[in-house]
Structure 1
Amino acid sequence: MIDETYFKHFPTLESERLLLRKLELTDAPEIQSIRSDERVMKYMDSERQSTVGQSERFISMKLKMYQENTGIFWAIIEKSTNTFIGDFSFFKMDHKNSRTEIGYTSKPEFWGKGYMQEAMTSIFNFGFDKLNLHNLEANINPGNDKSRAILTKMGFQKEAYFRENYYYDGKYLDSEIYSLLSSDFKTDNTKAELRT
């Protein structure tokens, strides 16, 4: 069972270069800049956030998920410059079966520098060691080579390929499903510090 202690006090995490903190409504301009960027959204298969108001509503929904114990949404901050890099979420959390889906985005200028891998290492260590998760699932567009590459690098295995199971923007799209079990994940020696 998932340890619900972490839904009473938000689990802020820290790694070598990153601070992973609670996403706030004041982050809406940063979220909007990411989720309106065509390079980021090309394979996201979700609505572009063309206004800050849309991003505020998006964040409010994520904060509500945390209050309802169904999701945790982190802002990824580069510590040395206090720069907002991106976000990472656990969502559709299944407490009985100790599993969750994951989602993530980052600004293109930070791609290829190992930031998302560092964030994932910290969050997965927390998820498996503290939150008591057993299984993580990722659902990606088959064209998203960058996402597939980081998932496989982190140890995820492809579980399924669903043909035309997702309707978006007037088309039926395919999906690839990846999963990571706690037993698959090699605990990193450079664990993130859990701030209290």
Structure 2
Amino acid sequence: MIEETNINKSVFDVFPELESERLLFEAYTKKDAQTLLNLRSNKAISKYMDTTIPKRIEDTEQRIEGYIKAFKEGKGITWALIEKENNTIIGDFAIHHIDKQNSRGEIGYILHPDFWGKGYMTEALTTLINFGFKDLNLHSFSANVNLENVNSKTLLLKFGFKLEALFRENFYYNGQFLDSEIYCLLQSDLK
């Protein structure tokens, strides 16, 4: 029998909507498919992603269905990041690949380039780290980062994430094998 840690499974009873100073964290719905298509097909964003770039609204509708399914199964939570001032989706943030046995969740995020350099990801990551450790009761977060994504690595290091591993040519994407770095933050790192 696999021993499970103390992840707070009640988090998955009702989708957890969160709020920070300038952002709302809400569930995606099918009505957001066009906005998500615009975000995920943006070249500045997609150049660091290791997933297929959506070409049709049906692609992002399927992605949103996947987010909903992952939440219902307790495997992940993906939030639309909404700027309060304009009530506009400007990106998203996820805790996915939740490993209940080891109380670990992988984070992933995207932000529209118009909002880069304005502290939105710092604000979002602060909110999500607090949620993950306090509400979900995770032991650690991991982040899988494209080596060329300097902004993402800088953000993670700012929060105390440590480089755990370099995986050489560990995934095939867009016709080539790519390297990635894995970063980790333990709950005890914040004490």
Length-normalised TM-score, structure 2: 0.94
Structure 2 distance, partners of 1:153, 1:143, is 17
Structure 2 distance, partners of 1:167, 1:71, is 23
Q: CA deviation at 1:168?
A: 1.2
1:5-44 correspondence to structure 2 within 5 Å: 5-44=10-49
Q: CA deviation at 1:45?
A: 2.4
| Count of aligned residue pairs for this structure pair | 186
Q: CA deviation at 1:82?
A: 0.5
* Higher RCO structure (Cα 8 Å, ≥6 apart): 1
Amino acid at match of 2:122: Q
Structure 1 distance, partners of 2:87, 2:174, is 36
Aligned to 1:96: 101
Structure 2 distance, partners of 1:185, 1:89, is 20
The answer to whether the aligner puts 1:110 opposite 2:115 as a matched pair is yes
What is the RMSD of the two structures over their aligned residues, measured on CA atoms?
1.0
Structure 2 distance, partners of 1:42, 1:168, is 11
Any stretches of 5+ residues in structure 1 without a counterpart? 187-196
1:135-181 alpha-carbon deviations (Å, 9 max, x no partner)? 00000111111111111112111011111111112211111000011
Amino acid at match of 1:38: K
Q: Percent identity?
A: 49
- 164, 167, 176: which is aligned to 2:172? 167
1:10-55 alpha-carbon deviations (Å, 9 max, x no partner)? 1111111111111211111111001101110111122111111110
Any runs of at least 4 consecutive aligned residues in structure 1 with deviations exceeding 3 A, and if so which? none
Length-normalised TM-score, structure 1: 0.92
Q: CA deviation at 1:81?
A: 1.3
